[in-house]
Amino acid sequence: MKIRVFDNSHDAGVYVAALAEQVIEDHASPVLGLATGSTPIPFYEALVRLHQCGLDLAPVKTINLDEYIGLDPSHPQSYAWFMQNHLFSHVNIPKDQIYLPNGVASDLEAECRRYDEVIRKHPVHLQVLGIGINGHIGFNEPDDALLSQTHIVDLRQETVASNARFFHDIEEVPKRAITMGVQAILQADQIVLMAFGREKAQIVAKSVSGGVRTDVPASILNLHKQVTVVLDRDAAAELMDSSGRLRIR
């Protein structure tokens, strides 16, 4: 596991976009696993700028981690809308190469099976992750056991409360979601975990410096051979010594 600490989220996003560019240039049919929420926005902004400077994204396939259950893709807080707003409407990735779970499918279990087949057909070269305040990746919440396949999850109260900032009222926040399982995440060739802000410092430290724990889902990334943790200085605060140097590398 590599840890990279930047002065701000903008610089961190540029770094992750450079990693994505390398993957795109190295593969004839590159597959990017994508995340939503405020954390990856600097990455998407930097990737859009690279496209505007000449990076062709037409060969890219994208597979998103998760989606709220009950939100139509046209809903402004759906992750489909988020991706369209922050990335897809600004680049030349063909629509038929974009994959997201369908949170309004009539048969949600069948939708989970469909999404597992998408993941099987298109192995991810670079998986981008954020981390929840309780350590979730995707919407794999802390539990006695972490599920390997795409599944329906009841969101923890702390997750609902954290996501309420995107809604007018906490009662509007969906309480369930479809999420990619941890096995699919770990099958990616390369993983980047991004975290910014002092409120993420404690869970980042628990995730990268301890053993694998199901109550800290992100800690499972310690099992992967190629993970880069990308932080700003606030998120890295509990990994630093008194002189501001990383205690672990």
- If you average pLDDT over residues 189-214, what whole number do you get? 94
Torsional class of 192: left (φ above 0), alpha (ψ -120 to 50), beta (otherwise): beta
CA distances from 213 to 20, 130, 190, 225, 239 (A): 29, 18, 21, 18, 19
Residues 6+ away with beta carbon under 8 Å from 89: none
Phi/psi of residue 161, nearest 5 degrees? -65, -40
Could you tell me the residue range of the domain that residue 29 belongs to? 2-234
Domain assignment present for residue 240? The answer is no
CATH number of the CATH domain containing 135:
3.40.50.1360
Whether pLDDT at 110 is above 90: yes
Domain assignment present for residue 198? The answer is yes
pLDDT tens for each residue of 127-180:
999 999 999 999 999 887 788 899 999 988 888 888 787 787 788 788 899 999
249 confidence band (pLDDT: 50, 70, 90)? low
- Number of structural domains the chain divides into: 1
* Token digits of residue 92: 């030349």
- If you average pLDDT over residues 69-94, what whole number do you get? 96
pLDDT tens for each residue of 45-63:
999 999 999 999 999 999 9
Total-model pTM: 0.93
Known catalytic residues are: 66, 134, 136, 141
